[in-house]
Chains A and B, each alone.
Chain A
Amino acid sequence: MSSESSTQAFADATRAKGDALIEVSGVDKYFSDFQALKDININVGKQEVVVVIGPSGSGKSTLIRCINRLEKHDRGTIVVDGIELSEDIRNIQEVRRETGMVFQQFNLFPHLTVIENITLAPREVRRLPKREAESLAKEMLERVKIPEQAHKYPGQLSGGQQQRVAIARSLAMKPKVMLFDEPTSALDPEMIKEVLDVMVELAEGGMTMIVVTHEMGFARAVADRVVFMSDGQIVEVGTPEHFFTDPREDRTKLFLSQIL
């Protein structure tokens, strides 16, 4: 590939797809003296799927946890759908309503049934009446392909089923962007596929997604951009084709050689 077209590809890659939904500028984050995020600048556009990869300790989880304020950034600005994240509680709550998060440990509420898990937030936060919330929940369960588990407790489900319920729970809030923090890392291998399939369908349906994962197959299939982070910094950003065939930075090459 000639250097000009590769630079062009790179420039295209760093520009967001639609209007920017999430704008992160100059963000630093410290845990005591340890700097977990160093000068992060990235925009995520509407309907864009961004996959973040990197070694453990690189700050990928910290970054997306800052986006819904589960962690507080120390410097710089984060703007989600026009709302800037600050100490203002109302802003924080609004951002959390518009973002959905799927955790590595699922974090389903074990004392509630599946359908109660899903209808909890719509009823309490969006004030949906019970019947509407339940039909919404059933719709979400259809989307993740486990409608028959509605009245079971999380403890009765397999890991893959639990994670799909977690996805349905976040989707029920009709978020503008979905954040995934290593959603398949805690799953047995035979269950990873069913969760990834749901995520692929979501992406193809036009959901804006930021996914932290090690599943390169997923990145190659649906990512619009791949971001490589290491030691708290964004090292390289690119399209999947560019990224996996011709990465520029040495650190990226080293990392990819270890996992591919």
Chain B
Amino acid sequence: MWRDARVLRVVGQVIAVVVVFLLLRWLFANLVENSRRTGISLDFGFLNRPTQFQIPNHDEFDPRSPVWQMVLVGIKNTLLASVFGIILAAILGLVVGIARLSKNWLAAKLAATYVEFFRNIPPLVIIVFFAFAVFLYGPLPNLRESIEIGFPGTDHNVLVLSLEQWGMPSLADAGNLAAFGLVLAVGVVIAVLVWRWRTRVNDQTGAPHHRVLWALGVLAVLLLVGYVVLGEPFRITWPTLGENRRRLVDGFAINAGFISVAGALGLYTASHVAEIVRGSILAISTGQSEAANALALTGFQRNRFVILPQALRIALPPLINQCLNLVKNTSLAAAVGYSEITNLTQASIGNGRPAVPSIVILMGVYLSFSLIISFMLNVVNRRMQLAT
């Protein structure tokens, strides 16, 4: 009986589970014992107590607010940096990836150098470079003497550059921004309908559909009409130095920490995205291109209908993986002054909050992001499966 395959399996399982269980139990027993001994708590009650330190660059945050509000600020900042980083990485990565495949020797070599440079240095070094060599000790002036890049011919600044903050133009509500938003939504719906109409026309008559032009044109016209009818529902605010050149008023101010993190991660992740883009296009066998050429498709048609759809299918899973990596890499902001969740957790522990539950929450936050993104990945994978 002891040679029976099934018995051995069960016995093996039981042994493995018992060993791991005992190990975990020993670790946790030590944890509880040591916590009791040193008087440091293990529960999550600290979340309701006041934060007691100021989050830098967040003047509106009251240090008396409970800790869980600080956690929310951290999560918000993580998301903000992630979103901008991903957008930057996607655009830059796509451009660099395609440039690397280009026939133009200069573009290809430049793209290759970009990729081989950024892929092989730690993202933290890039972030620190931005934070210290560009901003803190760098060539930019401080806020009073910011570089103001103006709109030629007017008084307005398009860009304000300084050591602590950069200013950009922004939209402000001049009465009817919500209504304009509605116009935008309606306009998008109508544009989609126009798109489908033009596609149908093309199916039935074979005439070129020009649906992109039609849809965008209709959208633009509707937005223009809405703008006029609603009588200037929004206005553009330009960044200016107010209060005796001590603060950036109007416009949209981003601080150095954010630019360091989002910009650096965007540049770094773009190098990976470029490699994925390049790899997925190269992975399409030459036979596909040959078949497309044999059918007399133009270069654009070959890319649009044959190569890129297949490349996208191959590239999507690793691209989503890179998104996850970027979100996890925002934790590097703990080294510079950007208050995302890891930075704040480290500061909070330094200010006396209990370490164990804080770190559990921290890991929980990232795990949630990771689970959401993995879920998306699975959905995408399943939708993209080729029928066998």
Contacts and interface: CB of A to CB of B under 8 A. Distances in A.
Interface of A: 87-90, 92
What interface size band does chain B fall in? under 10
Nearest to A90: B3
Contacts of A92: 5
Given A87-B4, A87-B6, A89-B4, 9 more contacts: A87-B5, A88-B3, A88-B4, A88-B5, A89-B3, A89-B5, A89-B8, A90-B3, A92-B5
A89 B6 CA distance: 9
12 contacts: A87-B4, A87-B5, A87-B6, A88-B3, A88-B4, A88-B5, A89-B3, A89-B4, A89-B5, A89-B8, A90-B3, A92-B5
Contacts of B3: 88-90
State the 6 A-B residue pairs at the shortest beta-carbon distance, nearest first.
Answer: A87-B5, A90-B3, A89-B5, A87-B4, A88-B3, A89-B3
Contacts of B8: 89
Interface string B1-20: 00111101000000000000
A51 B88 CA distance: 66
Nearest to B4: A87
A70 to B, nearest CB: 14
A89 B1 CA distance: 10
- Grouping DSSP codes into helix (H, G, I), strand (E, B) and loop, the B interface class, with mixed when no group exceeds half, is helix
- Grouping DSSP codes into helix (H, G, I), strand (E, B) and loop, the A interface class, with mixed when no group exceeds half, is helix
A54 B53 CA distance: 81
Nearest to B6: A87
A87 B2 CA distance: 11
A90 B7 CA distance: 13
B179 to A, nearest CB: 60
B367 to A, nearest CB: 36
A88 B3 CA distance: 6
Nearest to A88: B3
B59 to A, nearest CB: 65
Nearest to A92: B5
A73 to B, nearest CB: 15
A90 B2 CA distance: 11
Nearest to B7: A87
A194 B69 CA distance: 79
Contacts of B6: 87
B325 to A, nearest CB: 33
Contacts of B4: 87-89
B7 to A, nearest CB: 9
Interface in B290-324: none
A92 B6 CA distance: 13
A206 B191 CA distance: 81
Contacts of B5: 87-89, 92
Contacts of A90: 3
Nearest to B1: A88
A202 B19 CA distance: 52
A218 B8 CA distance: 44
A220 B3 CA distance: 44
A90 B5 CA distance: 9
A259 B219 CA distance: 67
Nearest to B8: A89
Interface string B348-385: 00000000000000000000000000000000000000
A209 to B, nearest CB: 29
A89 B12 CA distance: 15
Contacts of A88: 3-5
Contacts of A89: 3-5, 8
A89 B5 CA distance: 6
A87 B4 CA distance: 6
A221 B355 CA distance: 81
